[in-house]
Amino acid sequence: MRHSRNNDYLYDIIDKDGRPIKEDKPKRFSSMVITILVINIVVFIITLGGNLFTDVLGNYYGYTFGKFQLYRLVTCMFVHGGILHIACNSISFLQIAPFIEAKYGKQNFLFIYFVSGIGASIVSAVCNMLINNQTISIGASGAICGLLGFIFGKMKGNTKNKLISIASLVIPLMIVGISGGNVDNFAHFGGIITGYLIGRLFNRLGIDDKD
């Protein structure tokens, strides 16, 4: 079997009898990835007028737990604090999310993303409550870190290599957190841990990619 370029398809695959087998081009960005990205952008545009939506939708333990407004564990993922904030998160999201959705399907992708995001929000709220840090946490970075954690949890092979890979992610996040006072490292680490555990769960349940 051999391959040749074609304008309408990524490749013409030629079988042993010389007949072309058409293969569609793979989608660069899948539907759920685009949907989440669009929601983030729309919410950001709506919230440009002030901090009302941040106060209503952001994750602050005094409201999330104190007033039992648990919806904030999810809604905070769609709120961003500025153009640089949403730009960095969007670029990171687009680097990894299409890969996971293509590999594991829409439903599994949504499960990984939102459970990781909720896990990140819970860890953030609990840790900020313990140190009495009365800030409102917003942004998709906790869920995005969960996607990375999932990949590390799903990896099979040498444990040392896993730890090196995880350290290469965690250490830069720590450096950024130390240098920037507005970074919620609790959410980042909460997302990584949650995503990692989901990856291990998928291995235990035998949920593999679609390839």
Catalytic residues: 141, 188
Q: Please say whether the dihedral angle defined by the alpha carbons of residues 170, 151, 165 and 203, taken in this order, is positive or negative.
A: positive
Give me the phi and psi of 13, to 5 degrees please: -95, 125
Q: Quick one: tokens of 132?
A: 């009495």
Of 201, 199, 191, 77, nearest in space to 127 by CA: 191
14: phi then psi, degrees, rounded to nearest 5: -100, 125
Between the two ends of the chain, the Cα-to-Cα distance in Å is 19
Euclidean distance between CA atoms 187 and 117, whole angstroms: 8
CA 12 to chain centre: 34
The C-alpha angle 152, 179, 131, rounded to 5 degrees, equals: 80
Give the Cα separation of 100 and 1 in Å (integer). 29
Task: Identify the helix (H) or strand (E) that includes residue 22.
Answer: strand 20-23
Q: Are strands 2-4 and 11-14 parallel, antiparallel or unpaired?
A: antiparallel
